[in-house]
């Protein structure tokens, strides 16, 4: 199946059910606003399909402008057809909670006492609020994480979006933690 056929499917039917029933395409994950499918021809590519997820659209725009940042998913291409958004990106692997927490605790510890939360108080990425993201953006020694933290601080400061970084929204690209969908919409 060609990519164009994916778009035609979106025109005619409920995209998820149609892709699964007609083409046998495997759904890898479902969220409240979209689905992730295995690309039918490329084992190392997945396709995220969503319609009106403003929080993800905001993050996607930032990711496209920051593809050199190692914390963002490696996006191959994007397309829009019949009100649906298609994002083609490198297939990643699930992140273990312990690996993510070690990374975050190391970053918080390196930032020093500037950050209100202490490393031993963090049990989830959702424990960080916009003020702590802002301080991490300013004081993190990891420039890529500082840029990501700056995005999170700005986005979560508004009443439109909230920090939605739970274990299912964090993946791994080899040994690198990647944030795939860090915002939720209020």
End-to-end CA distance of the chain: 37
Residue range(s) defining the domain that contains residue 86: 3-53+66-91
Using 50, 70 and 90 to split pLDDT, how confident is the model at 12?
Answer: very low
pLDDT over threshold 80, residue 172: yes
In a domain, 174, yes or no: yes
Give the DSSP H or E segment for 127. none
Cα gap 142→136, rounded to integer Å:
10
For residue 116, the SS3 value is: coil
In a domain, 99, yes or no: yes
Q: What is the CATH number of the domain that holds 31?
A: 3.30.200
Mean per-residue pLDDT, 165-180: 88
pLDDT tens for each residue of 80-130:
877 788 899 999 998 887 787 777 777 767 666 555 554 444 555 655 665
The DSSP output letter for 91 is -
């Amino acid at each position: 199946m060609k990519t164009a056929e994916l778009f035609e499917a979106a025109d005619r039917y409920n995209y998820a059910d149609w892709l699964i029933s007609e083409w046998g395409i495997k759904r890898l994950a479902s969220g409240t606003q979209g689905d992730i499918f295995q690309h039918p021809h490329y084992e190392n590519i997945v396709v995220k399909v969503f319609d009106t997820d403003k929080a993800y659209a905001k993050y996607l725009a930032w990711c496209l402008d920051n593809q050199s940042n190692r914390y963002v998913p490696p996006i191959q291409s994007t397309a829009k057809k019949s009100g649906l958004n298609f994002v083609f990106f490198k297939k990643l692997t699930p992140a273990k909670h312990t690996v993510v927490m070690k990374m975050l605790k190391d970053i918080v510890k390196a930032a020093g006492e500037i950050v209100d939360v202490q490393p031993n108080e963090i049990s989830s990425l959702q424990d960080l609020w916009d003020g702590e993201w802002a301080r991490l953006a300013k004081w993190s020694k990891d420039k890529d994480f500082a840029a990501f933290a700056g995005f999170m601080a700005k986005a979560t400061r508004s009443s439109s979006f909230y920090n939605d970084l739970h274990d299912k929204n964090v993946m791994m690209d080899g040994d690198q933690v990647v944030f795939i969908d860090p915002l939720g919409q209020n």
